[in-house]
Every structure is written in structure tokens, then in C-alpha cells.
Amino acid sequence: MRVLSVASECAPLVKTGGLADVTGALPAALAGVGVQMRSLLPGYPAVMAALSDASPVHRFDDLFGGPAVLLQGQAAGLDLLVIDAPHLYARPGNPYLGPDGRDWPDNPERFAALSWVGAHVAAQGADGWHPQVLHGHDWQAGLMIEYLPRMGGAGVRTVLTIHNIAFTGSTDPGRLHSLRLDPARFYSEGYEFWGAISALKAGLMGADALTTVSPSYAEELMTPEFGMGLDGVMRHRQADLTGILNGIDEDAWNPATDPAIAAFDAPSGKAAAKTALQAELGLPQAAGPLCVIVSRMTHQKGLDLVLETLPALLDPGGQLAVLGSGDPGLEQAFRQAAGDPNVAVRIGYDEGLSHRLIAGGDAILVPSRFEPCGLTQMYGLRYGTIPVVALTGGLADTVINASPAGLARGVATGIQFAPVTAVALRGALMRLTRLFSDREVWTRMQVNAMAHPVGWAPSARAYADLYARLTQTP
């Protein structure tokens, strides 16, 4: 089975969030179930620098404003197709944002180019390699569904994965010409979305199959609360929608071999990792649980609720350590919270520190208002760091709640709370403190957490089955 993955980012080459983790891990996971996946990426500076043994396979005289070369090569164990288009991608920093922190004004054209090349490869092949399935990720790959039939790729089956429906890739209809779109398709059954062009809507309406990154998120997308104006589309495509839970890279996130920390045999060895983390962050020893957060600081992630409920954690002797960046107001609020000696905050992102936080923390807080899948709670499970999560999306699918029934049966792996309010989170933190004080129960939860399956094997089989159904391949 030959599959072309089309995405705007891919770990470890370029990453802003969980999308990159998924697109980076999926090729290796699928190789184990007989799927050959190549990944098409924009030629950002970091990608171009990592690319080895690159050779040109196609030239575009005018790829949305300038010439471009499609290269094939390898990097970080991935088989890559890379779009070398300096006029679109040779820019510093974030793939989506300029130095001023705002979207690049030509983002619609930059990612239309990604979709255009993806459709071209699907229809025409690349150096003799012809994919049977074109698998796009999020809005940045949505327009490939519009372009594919025009390029003669009607026989190629298509999949679009929704990692976060909040980002619709919408732009003014005045860009119809510059995006090379058929004006006749600018209607409700095409790519029109509340009077705008939506790259995501194009993919949602036209792909043969849709997937999301957890079963619960698939159900949530069909509701007005979570569908972000596209819930009607999701209900329309319900028969073609599948929720496939993400996994994590169990080699990169392995407490026994993690190079970012001293190896330890959790849960018994977590005490050493916690002591080392407290020393690194300047936190004193404390009687209560050390809670950690590794997150983007946005309204979605519910971190304002953590600030509102901090006394429920700190007053009984707990601590908080935070790593993240994003909304300037939240960043400043957490800096102010760090005036408490039992709160440590690091603004920015540091991969090594993220590993040490999850290894040394007693619990990891993920109070998201919505969460398509979430990965940090799975990192926590892997390291025996008890997740405290909102009951939504992938958080609901990956954590077994420490309810009376869950505790009685000895299967609990974390704490869930609902609704996503300060009152409910305060109650969850109080439960956390009580459970932490019962060492027998707490150790049982840590053991359960570390035994919980979080790898890619089940998800890889689900994707392979989907590809096989679409192509009618055994």
C-alpha cells in the first residue's frame, strides 16, 4: 500500500504542536503493517537543512508566485518529498507566523501550493512512485481535494484528518483566482464557508474518508458546541467519519532510556526525578503533589482555570511547575503566579525540560476546554505522572477516572472532571491531594498508568484498514 502524507509540519523537522508529532510518527508505525508512506512537506529552512541525498523529481515554472523544485530525499528516518520554493517557504521562525507574531499574509497561497503539489504527485507520481491514497492533514492540505480531479487523479482515494477543527483556513473570496480555484465550486456543497473560502471545508466536503484523532472528538464535532460552525458538515459526512486515537513515540518517551533525565524505574524511582526537578526549578521540598503543565498558553487549554484554582493545590502543600508560551496575558499571569515559592514558570519551549517535568512531576494538568486528542496526558501515563484532565475529546478516551468504581476495581489511571469550569477543576485538585496522601492507592494508579497502552500499533492498524477499504485492497 502506497500512501502520500501531506502536512504543513512534521516532527522532528518542524513542529508547533501535536500535528507534527502525528505526521512524524505515523510513517514508521504504518511500515509495520505493510504501508509505505512518503511525506510531502514545505521546504522550510529547517527541512531543507536536514534533507539528505536530495534529488529533483519535478519542476514548477510558476508555483503560486515563483518557480519551485520538488525534491525527494530522506531526513530523520523519513522518506520525504520537499517543495523547494524560496518565495513561499524560505522564511525564519514559525511556519505560519511572521516576526510580528501575525499570520504571514500569503498563507492561503503558501498552503494552496502544498495542496497543489500533493495533488500533482497523487495524479502524476514522483519519479515512478504512484500513491494509491492521498492523506492530508488539517486545512493546509484541504485544497488538494479541489485540485486532484483537474490533474487527472480521479482514481486516487483521499483521506483528510482533522487535528483541530478550530482552524478552518478561511480567506476572502477575492482570492479565488490567486488560489486557482473553480468559481463554480464556491457554494455550500463546495468550499464556501459563511461567505469565505475555506480550505478545510473543501477537504471535509470532498475527501473520500474523514478521520479525527480520537473517537470522542469525532462525536463532539457533530455538535454546535465543538463543531466551530462546521457541525452540519460533520453530520452530513458522519458515515465517512472515523475517530482514530493518536499514539505517542514510545522510544522518544521512554523513562528507562530517556537521555533528558537520569534513567529510573518508576514509580519507585520517581522520587529522585522529582527531587532533581525541584532543585532545577528552585522549588522547595513539599508534602503535597508537584503538578506540571507543558502546554501552549491559549484559551482552549483552560490554563486560566488553573490560575483561578491555584489555592486548592498550594494550600494543602502542593506545587506547580509550568512550561509554555502563547497568549501574552496568560504568560504575564503565570509570571505573577511564580511569585509564590511553590510555583515555577518557564516561558517558551524546551524539549529536554518537558521530559524532565513529566518525569519528575507527580501529576500533569490538562484542563482543556476541547482537546481533539492530546499527547501530554499520554506522556504522563507513560512516566507514571497522573493525568488530571477535562472530560473531553481524546482526554476522555485515554484516562480511566479515579471514580469510586475505578478505584474499587483497581483500574484508575487518572482524574477526570466535568464540566470544564473552575469549580470542577478545584474539586479535581482536592481529589488529587487526597489520593496522593494514600500511598497505596497512589502507587496502584502509577502502575496502572504506566501499563496503559499509549503506542501507535492499534492506530496504525486502524489506518491501514481504512486505506484497504478505500482501495478495496486485502
Please report whether residue 118 resides in a domain. Answer: yes
320 and 337 in a single domain? The answer is yes
Please report whether residue 19 resides in a domain. Answer: yes
93 and 118 in a single domain? The answer is yes
357 and 447 in a single domain? The answer is yes
What's the confidence (pLDDT) of residue 262? 63
Distances from the Cα of 323 to the Cα of 38, 320, 337, angstroms: 33, 10, 13
**458515515: which residue's cell?**
239
165 and 288 in a single domain? The answer is no
Please report whether residue 260 resides in a domain. Answer: no
Please report whether residue 252 resides in a domain. Answer: no
Binding-site residues from annotation for ADP-alpha-D-glucose: 15
Distances from the Cα of 61 to the Cα of 108, 125, 169, 254, 259, angstroms: 19, 18, 26, 46, 46
Amino acid at 287: A
What's the confidence (pLDDT) of residue 267? 53
102 and 201 in a single domain? The answer is yes
Q: What is the 3-state secondary structure (H, E, C) of 146-196?
A: HHCHHHCCCCCEEEEEECCCCCCCEECHHHCCCCCCCHHHCCCCCCEECCE
Please report whether residue 261 resides in a domain. Answer: no
Please report whether residue 382 resides in a domain. Answer: yes
Phi, psi of 402, deg, nearest 5: -80, 60
Domain that includes residue 392, residue range: 270-451
What's the confidence (pLDDT) of residue 263? 53
Count structural domains, the chain: 2
23 and 51 in a single domain? The answer is yes
We report the CATH number of the domain holding residue 44 as 3.40.50.2000
What's the confidence (pLDDT) of residue 268? 56
SS3 376: helix
Ranges of residues in the chain whose predicted pLDDT is under 50: none
Q: What is the Cα–Cα distance from 153 to 148, expressed in whole angstroms?
A: 5
193 and 277 in a single domain? The answer is no
Please report whether residue 381 resides in a domain. Answer: yes
pTM of the model: 0.91
60 and 97 in a single domain? The answer is yes
Q: How many Cα neighbours within 13 Å face the side chain of 60?
A: 23
Mean pLDDT of all residues belonging to the chain? 95
277 and 226 in a single domain? The answer is no
46 and 87 in a single domain? The answer is yes
Please report whether residue 150 resides in a domain. Answer: yes
62 and 99 in a single domain? The answer is yes
Binding-site residues from annotation: 15
411 and 426 in a single domain? The answer is yes
Q: What is the Cα–Cα distance from 163 to 299, expressed in whole angstroms?
A: 17
